[in-house]
Structure 1
Amino acid sequence: MGFNVPTLAPIGLLIASNLFMTFAWYWHLKFHSVALWAVVLISWGIAFFEYWLAIPANRLGSEVYSASELKTIQEVISLSVFALFAVLYLGEKLTWNHAIGFGFIGLGAFFIFKGPLK
């Protein structure tokens, strides 16, 4: 089983894009002394790079995934990246409530990829 570029490249690009986007949206929570206008401009600059990864991810991914599947992949990655960011950067603790909520989201992703129920 080799590396399948059309299947895996979009996932890698979405992971990278979500790293940028999560940082763009939440980095400033540790820096309340920075003016809001500056935070918005800095975050906008960081998000610029997210678009350079997300758009190609979706374009390439549309060759092998439906739009619903791509969005589901993106949401699962987004929550996974955010959970790591919250723990490692913001110093937050994940609780059982988080695990249960993420589990339900994972269950939803399962049904998206399972296809129409018969």
Structure 2
Amino acid sequence: MSNLATMPSLQAIVLLVASNLFMTMAWYGHLKNLATSPWYIAAVASWGIALAEYLLQVPANRIGFQQAGLSVAQLKILQEVITLSVFVPYAVVYLGQPLKLDYLWAALCMVGAAYFMFRA
């Protein structure tokens, strides 16, 4: 049985998911946590969180491209699928946004995009 270190595709995916958690917090967390603060305070806080996102995103893309052999387009679509997968629960659970059927339609569009990027 292989471990994560010997599976570059899985390693890239795990790093992309982790980076997306930070990205989502950086982009949307201030709407709840710093709602009454001036925008520039929220921006500085978001930049600090985004640094963690970049520290995970850059190696994820390098591993995915250089070791797993994914194309740049495949990495981008993978990133978008992960983004939606992280964003919807975050918006619903953490930010208290209503769960809409539109999320399902968007996800189906992303599945279609992933299909076309990853087909042989």
Give 3-state SS (helix, strand or coil) of 1:2's partner: coil
Q: Hey, what does 2:17 align to over in structure 1? A: 15
RMSD across aligned positions (CA): 1.3
Q: Normalized against structure 2, the TM-score is what?
A: 0.90
Report the residue type matching 1:108 in the other structure: A
Report the residue type matching 2:14 in the other structure: G
Q: Hey, what does 2:115 align to over in structure 1? A: 110
The answer on 1:92 being equivalent to 2:94 is no
Question: Which of 43, 47, 51 in structure 2 is aligned with 1:48?
Answer: 51
| Distance across 2 between alignment mates of 1:50 and 1:13 | 9
Unpaired runs of at least 5, structure 2: none
After superposition, the C-alpha distances for 1:1-53 in whole angstroms (9 at most, x for unaligned) are 63452110000000000000000000111232111110000000000010100
Shift of 1:54: 0.3
Q: Hey, what does 2:8 align to over in structure 1? A: 6
Count matched residues. 115
Report the residue type matching 1:10 in the other structure: A
